[in-house]
Chains A and B, each alone.
Chain A
Amino acid sequence: MNLTRRSFLKWSAAVGAMGTGLLSLPGCSNTSLVDSETANGAGEIIIPTCSTQDCGGRCLVKAHVKDGVITRISTRGPYEADEPGANMKACLRGRGYRKHQYHPDRLKYPMKRVGKRGEGKFEQITWEEAIETIASETKRIFERYGPGSRYCNLGTGDTGGVISRMALGNRFLCATGGYLPWYNSVSMGNTGGATPFIFGVDNTANRLDSLRDTKLVVLWGHNTTETIFGASNYYFRQMKQRGCKFICIDPRYSNTTVAFADEWIPLLPTTDNALMDAMAYVIVSENLHDQAFLDKYVIGFDEDHMPEGVPANESLVAYLFGKKDGVEKTPEWAEAICKVPADTIRRIAREYATTKPAALIQGWGPQRHSCGERTALGGAMLAIITGNVGVLGGWAGGYIGLTRKGCVGMPAVPNPYPGAIPTLAWVDAIECPEKVTPETGLIGVDKLDSPIKMILNLAGDFMANQNPDINRTIRVLQDESLVEFIVVSDLFMTPSARFADILLPANTFFERYNIGATWNNGDYFILSQKIVDNYYESRSEYDWLAEVADKLGVKDVFTGGKTEEEWIRWIVEETRKVYPETLSWDELKKVGISKFHYDGPRVAFEAQIKDPENNPFPTPSGKIELFSKQLYDMKNPEIPAIPVYVPAWEGPEDELTQKYPLQLIGWKTKARDNSTFANNPWLQQAMVQEVWINPVDAEPRNIKTGDKVKIYNDRGATTMQARVTNKIIPGVIAAPTGSWYTPDAHGVCTNGNLNVLTTLKMTALTHGNTQHTCLVEITKL
C-alpha cells in the first residue's frame, strides 16, 4: 500500500475539500529560512592558522573558506621554505583537521546526565541551566569540602595553545577559592625530574640547528616521524642528506627507524641501563672516554672525583668494573639482559665514543617506565663520559627541553591552596586520600583534607582513556558517592566524556583565537585564528567559565576584564615588547606565522663548559654530578646515585613473567594526538589498531597476521587484530596508544585500548608515569 500518484491525487482532492488541520501546527510555519538580501556569491578565501592540539609539531595550515564554511585544508608548499628554520608542512593529522571540524558526531548542545554515571545517558539542557548548575555545585562543594576537594584533570586536547582549556579550568578554580593541582608531566616527567640531579636543571637540550656538524646521532626511543617532535624531522632530514649517520635504538622498527636509521638496534624495554652500562664499560676499558672533560667538569666518574663522605667503590668506574658487586658490566653481561648482541654493543660504544661530535637523543618512551628515571640518567651518563656536553653538535641528554624565546603568558590567578599531587595520584585522592602522602608524592601539605569531590575535565580524555588502569579508574568514577560532580567540555563523546554529570559542547580551534607553538618551541608561533562560527551551540570554555565566575561574583578575577580574543591580542602585543621581531596582530592575521630570531645555535651548558669558573653548573657541587650525593642519601634501591642497571618491576626479570611472559609497550602514532583523532575518518584509514608480535612469540600461540587476539593481565583485557612481524623484538608486543576505550559487557575493551592493562603505580623518585611497563599474555580468539 505504497503511496502512488493516483492515490495521492484522490486523497489531496478529498483533503482539499475538508481543509487540513495540520496547517495550524506551530512547528509548521516556515521558520528556518528567512529573507536575505545578501545573495551575492562569496568567493574562496584562504586563511592561515594552526591547531592547538597536543601535537609535537605545529604546522601552518591554510583553511580554504567559502561563505563561512571551510571547504578544504591545504598546507605549505616547498616554495614556502623558511630559512633559517623549519618548514612545518602539515602531515596527515594537519591535513585531516576538516574531518574533525565537520564530523557529524560533534557535541551539539549542553547535556546533563540522566542515567547512572558512565552509562552514557544524557538529556539536552540550556546553557543557562548548565551554567547555573556548575555555579551552584562549585559553591556547594567548596563550602562543604574546601578548596582541596576540587580538581581539574589533565587534559591535553589543546595544550598546544598558549591558552589551554585545562589552564582555564585551573584559573577558574583559583578565582573561586582554590583547588588541588597536579604536578609532573605524564609525557616526560621522569626525565624532567631526574635530570636536575645531574645537571641542576631540566632544560638540557640544544637547538637542533646546533647539530649541523654532528656526524652520528643515536635516537634512543625517539620516534619523531610519528610524534612530529618540533622541527626534528626537518633537521634530521637535512643531516641525513649531509651524511650524518643515524642509529635507532628501539624495541620496535618505528617509522623513524624506517626514515632515518642506518642501523636499528632492538632491545628489551626497561633494560636500557644494561646496554648503556655495557657501552660505558667498553668506552672506559678501551680508554675512549674523555678523561680531561671528566676531570674538569664532573664528579662521580672515578674514585678520585667523589663527593666527601661517600665510602669507596661507589663511583661509576667502580660499578662498571664490579669493584663492589663483583660483576663486570661487560657486553656479554648486558647481552643476557637486554638481548643486544655483545659485538653490537662493542661496535656502537666505540662508534659513539670516537665520532666527534655525536648526539645521543633520548625520546620520551624509554622513560615512561618503572625505571624511567634511571634510563634518563643513563643516557646523560654516556654523553658525559664522552665529553659531548656543552659542545656544538653534541647533546647532554634530558627531555629535550629548551629555554628559548616564547610568547608571554596570561598573568596567573594565584591558587590559595598550597598542596599538589603527582599526575597519577588523583584516583587515590578520590578513593583513598589517606594513601596520598608526602612519601607517595604529596607536596605543599602533610595530608589531604578532603578527597576529590569535583572534577573539571576540559578538552581531555585522560580521565577514562589515557589514564592507566582504566578498570580501576572507571570503578571509582562510577561511584557517585565519591566524586560528586564532574563537568566535561569536549568536541566528542569520548570515553572520558561518558562520565560527565554536565557535558558541554566545546568549540574548535577554527572557532576561537589562540596561539600555537611546537613542542621544544622557540622557533616560531602561529596565530590560531577564529575562522568560522561556533558549530551548533558549542562555546569556548573561556566564555562559559566567565559566566559561571560571574554568577559566583568573580568574573573580573577570572577574565581580567578581557575577552579571549583580547587576551590573545594582548599576548601578541606583550610578546612584541619583549621580542621586537614579533609580527603585529594585523600581520599575523595575514601570514599566520611569526619567527623568533637568534644569533646562532643554542647549546645547553655552553657557558659552563667554556668558562666554568664563572658559570658553575647549578648543582650542589657546581659540577656535573654523575654521582648524585642527593640520590645516594635517599638510600632508595630504585634510584641509585649512579645510573646502574636495576631490574625493573614488571620488567623481563620480574617473577610475574611466569604468568604474563610478554612485555607490552604502546607507541604514539602518526594518526592521533594522544587520543584526539581516534574518530577521524581519514586517520582511521591511515592506521589500523593492531598489535605487533614477533614470529617467535606468535608461532607457539598459533597467532597469524589478521587474527583477532586478546591481550590480558590481572588488570584487564583488550582485543584487536595481530600483525606478526619481525619489526618487534621477541618477548615484546606493541600497539598504538590512544584508541578509544570501548568495553563489551564484561569490561573487555573491544577497540585495542592498552590502558585496561597498564598500571597506576608510580616511579620511585619523581612519582611519574610507568605506562609502558606492563606484563601481559596474548591469546588468539
Chain B
Amino acid sequence: MSEQEGRSEQEGRLYIYRLLKTIFEKPLNKEDLILLRQDPGLEHLAQISQGAKIIWNYLEENKDKDPEELGQELKQEYQRLFIGPGPVLVPIWESVYFDPEHLMFGERTLEARECYKKHNLQYIHKNRRPEDHLAVELEFMLFLVQSYLACEDQSRQKELLTDQKHFLFRHLATWKDEFLRLLLYSTCCQLYKGGGLLLKEFIEVELNMFEELEEVS
C-alpha cells in the first residue's frame, strides 16, 4: 500500500466514524440533513455498503421533504429510541449490554474512561452521563485516527494503532450486533436502521484491518 493509499484509508476511516457519530450523537437537524444530502462520499459509500445504501435511500426518499419537518421527525424518533421518557428501547451505552442488570455507569463505562484518560481526555459530561455512549466511543476512535495521521513518530504511531485495536476489540466491536438487533426490532426509521447496519459492517472491516496488520507484522 502506497503512502497515499494509506492516508486515504485513514481518511476513509475518519469519514465513516464521523458519519456514524453524526447519526447517533443526537438527532440530525435541518443543517445536518442538507449537508448529508449533498455529500458525495456517502453516495459512493452507498454503492458498497448495505447500511450506507439504506441511509442514502432514506435521504433520497425524503429529499423533497422540508428538512425542518424531517428534523422534527428524527428528533421524535431519536428520543423514542435512545432517551425516553419511558423504557429506552435501544440503549446507546455499552455498559447496558454487559452489566448483569443492564445498568449504565457499569464496569465498561469505567474501562472506556480509563482508555480516554490514557490520552489525557475527559468526557465533558463526566459523571452526569456515561462515557460509553456510542457517539463518545466513536469520537474517541476519531481522535485516535486523527492522532495517528498527525503523528510522524513510528513508535508513537504503533502505540496509537495498538490503542485503536484494543478499543475496537474491547469496546465497539462487542456490542454492535446487539445494538443493531434492537434497532431493527424497535424502529422503522431507515436512517437509524442503516446507521446500525453500517456500524456493524464498518467495525467488522476495522477488525479485519487489524487482523491483517497483525499478520503483516
Contacts and interface: CB of A to CB of B under 8 A. Distances in A.
Chain B CB within 10 A, most for which of A8, A36, A67, A111: A8
Contacts of A536: 128-129
B157 interface: no
Interface in B44-97: 44-45, 47-53, 75-76, 79, 83-88, 91, 93, 96
Contact of A16 (B11, B116, B128): B11
Contact of B109 (A16, A69, A533, A534): A69
A375 B122 CA distance: 62
What class of interface size applies to chain B in its complex with A?
Answer: 35 or more
A69 B127 contact: yes
Interface string B100-143: 01111110011001101110111111111101010110011011
Given A27-B25, A68-B126, A99-B101, A5 B205 contact: yes
A104 B104 contact: yes
Contacts of A67: 110, 113, 127
Given A15-B11, A107-B84, A98 B49 contact: no
Interface in A46-91: 66-71
A103 B21 contact: no
Contacts of B155: none
Interface of chain B: mostly helix, strand, loop or mixed: helix
Nearest to A70: B105
A27 B22 contact: yes
A123 interface: yes
Given A30-B143, A108-B84, A9 B5 contact: yes
Given A16-B7, A16-B12, A22-B19, A36 B120 contact: yes
B51 to A, nearest CB: 7
Interface in A343-392: none
Interface string B158-194: 0000000000000000000000000000000000000
Contact of B123 (A33, A493, A535): A33
Contacts of B31: 26
Contacts of A26: 31-32
Given A5-B208, A7-B48, A32 B84 contact: no
A493 B79 CA distance: 14
Contacts of B86: 105, 120, 493
A30 B139 contact: yes
A110 B51 CA distance: 33
Given A69-B127, A104-B91, A33 B40 contact: no
Given A9-B9, A15-B8, A20-B39, A66 B205 contact: no
A578 B158 CA distance: 67
B118 to A, nearest CB: 8
Contact of A3 (B36, B83, B201): B201
A112 to B, nearest CB: 11
Contact of A32 (B47, B50, B139, B202): B139
A412 interface: no
B51 A25 contact: no
B156 interface: no
A36 B110 contact: no
B5 A21 contact: no
Chain B CB within 10 A, most for which of A22, A36, A102: A22
A26 B32 CA distance: 8
A1 interface: yes
Contact of B41 (A21, A37, A99, A124): A21
Contacts of B118: 39
B152 interface: no
Given A18-B40, A23-B18, A28-B18, A3 B202 contact: yes
A11 B12 contact: yes
A24 B135 CA distance: 17
Chain A CB within 10 A, most for which of B12, B102, B131, B198: B12
A21 B34 CA distance: 11
A41 B123 CA distance: 15
Contact of A27 (B21, B47, B209): B21
Given A5-B208, A8-B205, A535 B128 contact: yes
Contact of B36 (A23, A25, A68): A25
A32 B143 CA distance: 11
A33 to B, nearest CB: 4
A109 B83 contact: yes
A570 interface: no
Given A3-B49, A18-B41, A107-B84, A35 B120 contact: yes
A436 B97 CA distance: 52
A99 B15 CA distance: 38
Contacts of B75: 123-124
Contacts of A186: none
A28 B35 CA distance: 12
A66 B51 CA distance: 39
Contacts of B79: 122-124
A497 interface: yes
Given A13-B5, A15-B12, A70-B105, A104 B88 contact: yes
A32 B124 contact: yes
B127 A3 contact: no
Contacts of A658: none
A30 B47 CA distance: 28
B15 A10 contact: no
Contacts of B116: 33
Contact of A22 (B15, B125, B139, B205): B15
Contacts of A21: 35, 38-41
Contacts of B91: 104
A99 B139 contact: no
Nearest to A18: B40
Contacts of A18: 40-41
A501 to B, nearest CB: 13
Chain B CB within 10 A, most for which of A27, A533, A535: A27
Given A26-B31, A33-B116, A105 B22 contact: no
A702 interface: no
A2 B83 contact: no
A12 B13 contact: yes
A503 interface: yes
A40 to B, nearest CB: 9
A16 B113 CA distance: 32
A3 B51 contact: yes
A241 interface: no
A14 interface: yes
Interface in A530-554: 532-536
Contacts of A497: 85
B215 interface: no
A33 B205 CA distance: 25
Contacts of A98: 103
A103 B103 contact: yes
A33 B139 contact: yes
Contacts of B142: 30
Contacts of B25: 27, 32
Contacts of B13: 12
B29 to A, nearest CB: 8
Contacts of A534: 128
Contacts of A107: 84-85
A481 interface: no
A13 B48 CA distance: 13
Contacts of B7: 16
A34 interface: yes
Given A13-B9, A41-B114, A124-B83, 10 more contacts: A3-B50, A3-B201, A4-B205, A12-B15, A32-B123, A33-B139, A102-B105, A104-B88, A104-B103, A105-B84
Interface of A: 1-5, 7-18, 20-28, 30-39, 41, 66-71, 98-99, 101-105, 107-109, 111, 120, 122-124, 492-493, 497, 503, 532-536, 681-682
A-B interface, 8 closest residue pairs, ranked by CB to CB distance from nearest: A12-B12, A16-B8, A36-B122, A68-B127, A3-B201, A7-B48, A3-B49, A681-B101
5 contacts: A1-B49, A9-B9, A101-B105, A104-B104, A681-B101
